[in-house]
Every structure is written in C-alpha cells, then in structure tokens.
Structure 1
Amino acid sequence: MIRVTVVDDQTIVRHGIRGLLELSGEVHVVGEAADGDEALALVTGEPPDVLLLDLRMPGRDGIATLEALRERGSTVPTLVLTTFDDDELVLRALRAGAHGYLLKDVTLEQLVDAIRTLAGGGTLVQPALTERLVRRTGQLPRQEEFDDLPPPRPLTTRETDILRLLAGGYANREIAEALHLAEGTVKNHVSNLLTKLGVRDRTRAVLRALQHGLLSPSAESGRGGCRAAGPR
C-alpha cells in the first residue's frame, strides 16, 4: 500500500481526493494538510511515500513548500496536483524539486498511476501540450509531409519526457533544469529523438509525434507515455 499525504487548502477537495484514492485499493492517505506549514510538519514527523501538493494556498504556497523541503534535505517524492495549467508554474515547481505535475482534471486511474510512478522512484510531467502547439502553429500537422518516412522507432520513457517538454516550448537548458539532467545529456536525447522520428528539427519532431499519438496523456511508457523511469 502506497502511503500518501494530501495538501490542499480546500477541505472538500482534500476529502474528495482521499475518498477516491482509498477506492483504488493501492493508496492509503495517511495525512492531510491545509497549507505548507502543516505539510512540512507532517512530512518531518513521518514522511509518506508520496506528497500530493496543491500550488495556490494561503500562507506558505506550494512553491515555497517545495523550496523548504529541498532546503531541509527531504527526499519525499512530491506530485503537484493543481488546476493551474501554466508553463511558468510547471517549470518553477520542477525547479523547486517537484517530481511530477498533474492537473486536477485527470482521472483516478491517471492519478494512481502517477503516484505509483513517483513511489517507484520515477518522475512524471504532464503539461497540456497539444492545444498549445496547435495554437502556435495555427493548424494541425499535415500527414502528407511525412508520407515517405518509415514509422518512428520506439522512444524510451526519458526521450518521451523530453519530447513533451519540447512540445511545451522549453529550451534545452530549461529541460535540463526541470529534469535535473546535464544540458549535454538533453542535447544527446534531442539528437536521438530526431533520428528516431526521422526529422531534421524540433518542430517537425513534435508534429510527427502528435500524428503518431506519442504525446497522448494516456499513452504508455515506451510508446509516448509521460513517465521518466528510475530515480533522478
């Protein structure tokens, strides 16, 4: 059973998340906190396997809580669960030490899967990518542009994680900071992505990935999932 602490300033939200997670049969909610200070006290006492953290709270908010956990040397995997789909917030949370980022419109199955991933030492990134990409390009990718290319080769979970951040418009340096990797490592992954997708630049890599469903939030690891395997 995975032990989870839920941090959210809204009581009804905390109770709702607790009730849903308990239905899964895999997760046991061992604590609730209404703000960052309460969360720090709970984590200091008996750390859970995963901390579920809201970002916008009175007093010590989610980002400040992440920074405090990092300063205290806490190793508790923290999954941000928020209503705010904001690129800058995603990056700030990951820089502050979050191991994952999910929106509150996810299904119970997706939430439990994310908790399982973090409890197992992995990371998870789920920005809302496709809509932003379409807004930037002004159109859906054209299938005929890639008609002569062979099917994409399978991507690793780390490559898919980086692909998702590429689609979000992040530069190599920002991806490196978000995933706690060396910038040279990210450059190597991007080069491998282009080769596996058979394209010459980052924009076409994202467009082709969209056409083949590699950025679908429901896609499993190794076929476009957003999980990054293993401890960082």
Structure 2
Amino acid sequence: MTDPHGPRPPIRVLLADDEAMIRAGVGAILAADPGIDVVAEAADGREAVDLTLRHRPDVAVLDIRMPRLDGLRAAEELRRAAPETALVMLTTFSEDAYITRALGSGVSGFLLKSGDPRELIAGIQAVADGAAFLSPVVARRVIAQLGAGRLSRAAEARATLEPLTAREREVVALVGSGLSNGEIAQRLYVVEGTVKAHVSAVLGRLGLRNRVQLAILAYEAGLVDDARAADAG
C-alpha cells in the first residue's frame, strides 16, 4: 500500500545464517532492492536474538539450523521479546516437522534457499506489511496437510469463528487470502488502524499467536473459498 504521506522508509532487516557464503548471497540480493536495508547480520541464533533486540529491525530472516541457538528457538524468544519484529525462516529444508514448528513459533514467512530470489523480496515485503508469506513449495505442503482432514476440521473451525462479528469474519477471510492490513483497509474502505485493531482483537479472542494461524483457521472454515467466490461473482 502506498503511503499517502510520502515515500515509505526502507524495510530494516536482520539476516542470520551460520554460513558466510549464504549470508553474502542473500545479503547481496537484499542490498539490490532500494526498499530494503540490512541493518545487521548474525552467524548464530543467540547473536540473532541479541542483535534483533539491539537494532529492532522490521523483519528478522533466520536460518533454521544454526549453532548455539537454532532458528526455531530464536524465533520463540523473539516472539516474546520483540513482537514488533516479523519473523521469516530461510532454509534448505521443507520437511513438515520444520514447517509445523515454525508456524507454531510465531513465524510469518517460510522461504526456501533454493527458491527464486524474487520470492525472498516478496516475502520480506509481505511480512513487513503485516501479511503472511509461504514459498510455493511450503504452501503446497501446508494445503495438502489441511486437505487431508479438512472435512473433519471444517465444522470445528466454523464453530471457533462463530462468535466473531460479520466485519471480523470479513477481515479474517481477507487475512486468509494473504492480504496485508493496508490491502484489507482498501478493500473494506476503512483506515488501516481499524484493521489492525480487528486482527489483534480476533487473535486475542481466539487464542492464536499470529496471522499464519489465523489464515489457516480461515482456510479450514471455508472463509477463503467464500471470499474468492464473492470476488469471482
């Protein structure tokens, strides 16, 4: 979403990976985008936590397998200590166990090192805007997991969302569709602060940790399909 008050400042990013070559490569990709500023680099998870608390970046990009403190444990610490920093996992591994743990740790993005560099930029921009982002490979795995038992979970998901107001359900459906707060505000003709308030209220009421969990719930309840059908109609 374009800021009506002027150019958006660069997204401040911390990059953590124990392999110097990977840090150099990913750092070069990020440095080539004028909208991103890498403010710190870390070689292990403990350093990533310390530097995040020092620099307070908008986004922390964490490798999963790092010494001293792995990326998942670092994410759990940062979710508590620096909730304003969005978390992205960058890894060569796409096993379901890693995905499940990452999503449970409050991670907003999950990207593969073997992916297109454009995915890296898009993912960082998305989570900085308050949305969630999964690489296509990871998204297919998550959808497959959901689809395997979707009918048995759909009723439970709908019951969970039942107490929400009609407007809150609209917001949840759009979160599930991958829209940022700014994009949702434009769609619903409200200010972005109103959307943030709705999302925070829903997360608190439903006991969810982040937008990814909310998006999955929206998918299971069929709200995403309903929203797409309304757009098509």
**Considering the TM-score relative to the shorter chain, is it more than 0.5?**
yes
Percent identical pairs in the alignment equals 31
Inter-partner Cα distance in structure 2 for 1:181 and 1:158:
7
Would the alpha carbon gap of residues 123 and 195 (structure 1) be closer, same or farther in structure 2, given more than 3 Å must change?
A: closer
1:166 maps to what in 2? none
Verify: 1:129 aligned to 2:140, yes or no.
yes
Contact 1:159–1:189 (CA under 8 A) maintained in structure 2: no
For 1:119, give the aligned amino acid: A
Runs ≥4 residues deviating over 2 A:
70-75, 156-161, 176-183, 186-198
Verify: 1:119 aligned to 2:128, yes or no.
yes
Would the alpha carbon gap of residues 89 and 194 (structure 1) be closer, same or farther in structure 2, given more than 3 Å must change?
A: same
The alignment's TM-score, normalised by the length of structure 2, stands at 0.60
1:27 maps to what in 2? 36
Shift of 1:180: 3.5
Contact 1:5–1:31 (CA under 8 A) maintained in structure 2: yes
Secondary structure of 2:94's aligned partner: coil
Shift of 1:19: 0.9
Alignment of 1:26-175 (within 5 A): 26-126=35-135, 127=138, 129=140, 157-160=174-177
**Between structures 1 and 2, the one with greater helix share:** 2
Would the alpha carbon gap of residues 90 and 189 (structure 1) be closer, same or farther in structure 2, given more than 3 Å must change?
A: closer
Q: Which has the higher contact order (CA 8 A, sep 6+)?
A: 1
Q: Alpha-carbon deviations, 1:67-124, whole Å to 9, x = none? A: 1112325321011111101112111111111111111122222211111111111111
Aligned residue pairs, count: 164
The alignment's TM-score, normalised by the length of structure 1, stands at 0.60
What's the C-alpha RMSD, in Å, of the aligned pairs? 3.2
1:18 maps to what in 2? 27
Verify: 1:191 aligned to 2:222, yes or no.
yes
Contact 1:78–1:98 (CA under 8 A) maintained in structure 2: yes
Give structure 1 stretches of 5+ with no counterpart.
138-155, 162-175, 199-221, 224-232
